[in-house]
Structure 1
Amino acid sequence: MKKTLIVAACLFAFAGMAQAQDTPNSATDNGGWTGSGEFGFASARGNSRTENVNAKLGLNQENEYWKNNFFLNGMRSKGEVTVVDESGATVDRFTTTANRYDAGASVGYKLDPRSYIVGAARYEHDDFGSNLWQGIVSLGYGYIALKNERTELSFEIGPGYKRYRPANTTVLVNNETVEVRQPTESEVVGRGLINFKYRLTDNTAFEDTLLVEAGSKNKYYQNDAGLSVSMTRKLALKLGFQVRYNSDTQPGTQSTDTLTTTNLVYNF
């Protein structure tokens, strides 16, 4: 399933790029392509020791025929945690506390200047989340409700197929903790996406994206909000806040995760 989703995302990307070369450029000379890369790093030493790094890469295309999006994100953190070693003593260890990456693509073919048919694929892996991995492919309808120099609002909705593997659980067997692997789940879901962009000033912009993947077994919601301030035409600082929710969780894991980031952004 994981390989299928990655291959699907690659096919979406190649299809969009090929069409960008074959169709007239109505937006810009490069077929309407824009992109950005983000990077953030924080390190603390002394009374506490922590390291946090996150990176994002996004590619977007919009012209007369296509509305496409591709992304790749990663986040990893290390910190001091208190554990009990083999001898029964309590010690502090510097270990990984978060490790997550996700990738996805959506390819939209415009029926008219506002409406489009969209195919999307997304895969996520999280070593410390409620699901170890989850992936979805979907086909739906998109509509650009508002678009001008300052504001953009678009919607996407449609059915999809999702597979995911819940995080492992632990049980006590003969006074020893044993990790139990959970079976992979699959279901038909409804996918929805709302994307809102607003330029507050010439160098300040706000963006909020809400993703919904809802099925009978599990409901997944993700909201990404970001405020960016441009320093130059290419460089910007961005404050981001992400909320992720899974309704189906294992004992010992929480339904809601949040992530706050302060990143340096390079636009290309």
Structure 2
Amino acid sequence: MSNMAILIGLILALTSPVTWSGPAAGSPWSGEVRLGYLAISGNTESTTGNLEGAVNWDGVRWHHALSGRAIGKSEDKETTAESYKATYEGRFDLSERIYLFGLLDYNRTRFTSYDRQTFQFVGIGRRFIKTERHRLEAELGAGASQSKLSTGISQNEANWRISGVYEWKIGENASFFQKLNVNSGASNTFTESITELKSGIVGNLAMVLSYTIRNNSDVLPGTEKTDTYAAISLEYAFGT
């Protein structure tokens, strides 16, 4: 089967007609802040603190999500771990299940082959399952990337993206979350997997165990393709 036939099949699966009734009423704002302990493996072997945050705005058809993460550690006045990530996604609902999206993703990680990676995508998404306990959705998009290698060489190329999210509300105070992103171009494929298990403590406070895998298919000699981040964090959520 040709790549074009596969792409057409995916688009048809994402865009089959459904009825749209709009989101439930309530405050449009929500978000969370996390502070935790992190173990890094791969190009850097280190333990440090991490800070994460997210803000969401959900209207009738428009949805906006902004998130960020900062990791840093120094020993004897030398930086041993440093990573920053910022992501924005805007969505416009065509129906209850189908939406268009635009995505900006910025990653800066020292001590790896790619000192900086920036991605921009537009595409279409579908919510396959949306119940009180389960959420499953996928996105297909096209765009571009700009990367800077640790050697100073820049790479600019067209990219395609496929992404999937599954969330399961296990009980009243516990949930499971899994997300997989694949951004692929001619010179590199960047893959990111995020797994989280959350348990409520009291009120808006929760404990979160997370494991993130980040992989670049093409790297410089002497560097690792894969970095992993295992974290235990305390989360404060608002607007939920």
1:162-181 equivalences under 5 Å are 162-168=145-151
Separation (CA, whole Å) in 2 of partners of 1:67 and 1:154: 15
Aligned letter for 2:122? Answer: L
For the 8 Å contact 2:97–2:128, the answer to whether it is kept is: yes
For the 8 Å contact 1:51–1:78, the answer to whether it is kept is: no
1:3 corresponding residue in structure 2: none
1:155-234 equivalences under 5 Å are 155-168=138-151, 182-234=152-204
TM-score, L = length of structure 1: 0.74
1:71 corresponding residue in structure 2: 67
Aligned letter for 2:106? Answer: Y
Task: Report how far residue 167 of structure 1 moved.
Answer: 1.6
CA RMSD of aligned residues (A): 1.9
2:10 corresponding residue in structure 1: none
Per-residue Cα deviation, 1:143-170 (whole angstroms, up to 9, x for no partner): 11101111001111110110001123xx
Separation (CA, whole Å) in 2 of partners of 1:262 and 1:114: 33
Q: Does 1:99 align with 2:82?
A: yes
- Which ranges in structure 1 are unaligned for 5 or more consecutive residues? 1-24, 43-49, 80-92, 169-181
Q: How high is the sequence identity, in percent, across the aligned residues?
A: 26
Task: Report how far residue 78 of structure 1 moved.
Answer: 3.8
Q: Which secondary structure does the structure 1 equivalent of 2:127 belong to?
A: strand
TM-score, L = length of structure 2: 0.83
- Which ranges in structure 2 are unaligned for 5 or more consecutive residues? 1-21, 39-45
Task: Report how far residue 28 of structure 1 moved.
Answer: 3.6
Separation (CA, whole Å) in 1 of partners of 2:129 and 2:60: 16
For the 8 Å contact 1:163–1:184, the answer to whether it is kept is: yes
1:45 corresponding residue in structure 2: none
Instruction: State which structure, 1 or 2, has the greater radius of gyration over its C-alpha atoms.
Output: 1
1:27-38 equivalences under 5 Å are 27-31=24-28, 33-38=29-34
For the 8 Å contact 1:123–1:136, the answer to whether it is kept is: yes
Q: Does 1:250 align with 2:220?
A: yes
Task: Report how far residue 73 of structure 1 moved.
Answer: 0.6
Q: Which secondary structure does the structure 2 equivalent of 1:217 belong to?
A: coil
Per-residue Cα deviation, 1:230-258 (whole angstroms, up to 9, x for no partner): 01220000000000000121111100000
Q: Which secondary structure does the structure 2 equivalent of 1:75 belong to?
A: strand
1:131 corresponding residue in structure 2: 114
Q: Which secondary structure does the structure 2 equivalent of 1:231 belong to?
A: strand
Aligned letter for 2:215? Answer: Y
Task: Report how far residue 127 of structure 1 moved.
Answer: 1.2
Q: Which secondary structure does the structure 2 equivalent of 1:248 belong to?
A: coil
Task: Report how far residue 70 of structure 1 moved.
Answer: 1.2
Aligned letter for 1:75? Answer: I
2:52 corresponding residue in structure 1: 56
